[in-house]
Amino acid sequence: MRAISAFRRLAALGTAITLAVALAACGSNDSPDSAGPDLGLLQPGTLRIGTLTDAPPNVYVKDGKFTGFDNDLITAVAAKLNLKPEFVGTDFSALLAQVNGGQYDLGSSSITITEARKKTVAFSNGYDFGYLGLNTTKDSGITAFDQLAGKRVVVVQGTVQDDYATQKELDPVRVPNYNAALGQLKAGTADAWVSPAEIGEKMAKEQGGGTVILAAKELSDAPMAYAVAKSNDKLREAVDKALDEVIADGTWTKLVEQYYPGRAVPANFKPGSGEAKFTAPKASGTPAG
């Protein structure tokens, strides 16, 4: 009898072990490690993201952590995909080439979609809109974009603000990052900085030393999106699907209200695919047309 009981215990133990292994195998399809290879990631289970460190409220580092509207949104998207986000700081002028060259899985930096940029990378669906900003100093006398001719204008290299200044034949001074642009205004070595308006306004208030202001802004025509390698359609499609999910569950609206309190959403702008239902963020102004 004792031998039979011992045998039964061993058999039960073996069954339990077999069941545990089977359950683990079934569950492995939901683990980060198994999600990665299907999306062509550099490292299975990890979404490696190239971003900036100095562009609040969109993308920046606070208390040693990458944050901002764009980065918090892509973190929520990564969670939907069961991936761990890994942020790496870089300069904007190099970001798109680095994404398409395989250094990063994705680029996050309020990247405006343009035809020229489509030659280098592919884009997710748009998740935000933006404004061109005109930063200057209180005593410059500059109040509008049409007053920039003949002025020393600074831009961050490779941005749509660089494109704007070039198209307007302003012969801009190009710098690698936003801190350098702000520094030129504060030092008096530039008359104006054509900026992403949200970034320019926040940096003027927080780091402008009381002399730098946002004098004007105008709505950009194209939306902002995440950049992915042109060869990785699977990742782009997965990001688009997850982006619609975080729009539908209220995350997008919550982040807009957190990072852009009171900002009105243009009447013709719909985030993501345009099919996801969302609650319009609370706004203190009239939506731009």
Q: What is the pLDDT of residues 108-131, one digit of tens each?
A: 999 999 999 999 999 999 999 989
Map tokens 């710098």 to a residue. Answer: 175
pLDDT of res. 255: 97
Does the structure show a pLDDT above 70 at 287? Answer: no
Local confidence band at 29 (pLDDT 50, 70, 90 cut-offs): very low
Same domain? For 59 and 83 the reply is: yes
Q: How confident is the model at residue 17 (pLDDT cuts 50, 70, 90)?
A: very low
Q: Does the pLDDT of residue 25 top 90, yes or no?
A: no
Is 191 found in the same domain as 56?
no
- Angle at which helix 197-207 crosses helix 178-187, to 10 degrees, equals 50
- The residue that leads in pLDDT, 189 or 11, is 189
Distance CA 37, CA 4 (A): 48
> Are 152 and 190 a contacting pair, CB within 8 Å?
yes
Report yes or no on 15 lying in a domain.
Answer: no
Q: What is the pLDDT of residue 264?
A: 87
Last residue of a domain, which of 219, 249, 279?
Answer: 219
State whether the Cα torsion 115-224-78-86 is positive or negative: positive
User: What's the pLDDT at 204?
Assistant: 96
Is 10's pLDDT higher than 50?
no
Domain that holds residue 183: 131-219
- Residue with structure tokens 């997008």? 252
> Is residue 284 included in any domain, yes or no?
no
Number of domains in the chain: 2
d(CA 244, CA 282) in angstroms, rounded, equals 20
At 221, the pLDDT band (50, 70, 90 cuts) reads: confident
